[in-house]
Amino acid sequence: MGFSTLLASALCTLILPLLLFLAAVKLWDLYCVSTRDRLSRCPLPPGTMGLPFFGETLQLVLQRRKFLQMKRRKYGFIYKTHLFGRPTVRVMGAENVKQILLGEHRLVSVHWPASVRTILGAGCLSNLHDSLHKNRKRVIMQAFSREALQHYIPVIEEEVRGSIAQWLARGASCVLVYPEVKRLMFRIAMRILLGFEPHQTDPETEQQLVEAFEEMTRNLFSLPIDVPFCGLYRGLKARNVIHSKIEENIKAKMAKDSNTQYKDALQLLIEHTQKNGEQLNMQELKESATELLFGGHETTASAATSLMTFLALHVDVLHKVRKELQIKDLLSSSSSQENKPLSVEALEQLKYTACVIKETLRLSPPVPGGFRVALKTFELNGYQIPKGWNVIYSIGDTHDVADVYTDKEEFNPDRFMSSHPEDHARFNFIPFGGGLRSCVGKEFAKLLLKIFIVELARTCDWHLLNGAPTMKTGPTVYPVDNLPAKFIRFNGIM
């Protein structure tokens, strides 16, 4: 009798909570699905909604690529889930993504998770809508005009050459490429986008800001809970450090009269608010500047690191880049001769180098995707997307599943060199997004990456100490091992 009682007690202790948990999960799933539009004849996409309240956010944050790959294998190109506190449909494939990107203001509207909106702020370009977004984008685009880009080239060259010289000076010592490239891109973004002069950021301040940005970036996608030790709390704390330094720079800019022909993006924003008689909102300016810094260094650092990885693993491609530079008279045949200065026109002639960048962005796009919200219920490939649900379009998965690419896993820049390049289907290649929300700084990013390749090819060779790295997303793509490498000076012999 005592044993039976003990067994019954044990069963109640173990099984009852499990049954209650399973019932709660089932009720949660039914609750989430109950928000479907019953007037639509189309079914919801396949998928699961995860745990009560948390949904599948924890799995995404902890597993990232593994979680997303599992979902794609199981449910295909469109599936439902519950992420960052909202029922969500994740979308991939050129035709599906095309409908989302071209449906801005008609079917969908930008809607980043609450943690992103809170940390970056309501005043940044990514979170603005309609005429406010259009006007802000028009102002910022002036900083990326052809004339402005030409003006930036000497600054980029100076910073890139300085970093490469430091890497070469270490001789046999190991260089952790990813953090080094992040610092390089951060300095470039600070100077070009925000107008910081080199003397304004000493190494200690620079390191403090880089660390703050890394902390902010790590916690951009987190549960919307602002309490100590949680991701959102840490992200906001790091953002405040960045805002403090940017505010100093804004006040310095406002205190002096800037009559230079070329102006950084922050200067243009300041002048735009003054010219239109708008009340200068310091918070919005700080948020815009923080977003520019984030977009201007985080994504380019990811892309530049991937470029270095692919070129190290495919020496034949680096050889072809150098051959093109020689043909275009941008690589001296003798180490005693100085290389020809770069210009926008000269960089535009580097067709193969541009294809190397394209192929890198195809295989390793820095940004995994974008967030939208359904403005009304609409149909997508036979499924209903209910009004109010979040929609995530995937860039990396869309590249992966594109049938226009042969031998998809191969790094082959020549695929983009033919008269009918394999990215002819417009939405099979979307590293910069598309539609009204395409990346505002994409021409700047392409110019920066071209200069980066040119200076590397003209100056050095490098060897990856761990071979091909494992890549992780958080929120941009980066190598888990930070890409340790050794650099030697290029001797000019090919």
Write out the two tokens for 446: 């392409």
E-strand spans in 94-198? 108-110, 175-176
Q: What's the whole-number average pLDDT of the chain? A: 87
Lowest mean pLDDT among 17-26, 207-216, 444-453: 17-26
* Edge-to-edge strand list for the sheet holding 108-110: 78-83, 86-91, 390-394, 369-374, 108-110
pLDDT of res. 292:
87
d(CA 343, CA 152): 10
CATH number of 40-489: 1.10.630.10
Evaluate whether 427 touches 408 at the Cβ level (below 8 Å). no
Q: What is the mean pLDDT of residues 370-391?
A: 95
User: How would you classify residue 202: left for phi > 0, otherwise alpha for psi between -120 and 50, otherwise beta?
Assistant: beta
Per-residue pLDDT of 149-180, as tens digits, reads 999 999 999 999 999 999 999 987 899 999 99
What is the number of alpha carbons within 13 Å of residue 466 lying toward its C-beta? 15
d(CA 393, CA 101): 8
Is residue 255's pLDDT more than 90? no
**């892309």: which residue's tokens?**
303
Q: What is the mean pLDDT of residues 25-31?
A: 62
Q: What is the mean pLDDT of residues 322-327?
A: 95
Is residue 424's pLDDT more than 60? no
Phi, psi of 364 (to 5 degrees): -140, 65
Query: Concatenated DSSP letters for 374-391?
Result: ESS-EEETTEEE-TT-EE
Q: What is the mean pLDDT of residues 248-271?
A: 77
Q: Residue 189: which of 286, 354, 271, 299 has the closest Cα? A: 299
pLDDT of res. 194:
86
Phi, psi of 14 (to 5 degrees): -95, -45
Q: What is the mean pLDDT of residues 199-210?
A: 76
Query: pTM of the full predicted structure?
Result: 0.89
Per-residue pLDDT of 261-315, as tens digits, reads 667 888 887 887 777 666 557 888 888 888 888 888 889 999 999 999 999 999 9
Evaluate whether 378 touches 78 at the Cβ level (below 8 Å). no
Task: Give SS3 for 415.
Answer: helix
Strands 390-394 and 378-380: unpaired
Dihedral sign (CA 401, 402, 403, 407): negative
Write out the two tokens for 77: 């190109």
Is residue 423's pLDDT more than 50? no
Query: Looking at per-residue confidence, does 305 or 259 come out higher?
Result: 305
Domain parsing of the chain, residue ranges: 40-489
Q: Residue 445: which of 226, 294, 333 has the closest Cα? A: 294
Is residue 421's pLDDT more than 60? no
Band (230; pLDDT cuts 50, 70, 90): confident
Q: What is the mean pLDDT of residues 399-407?
A: 92
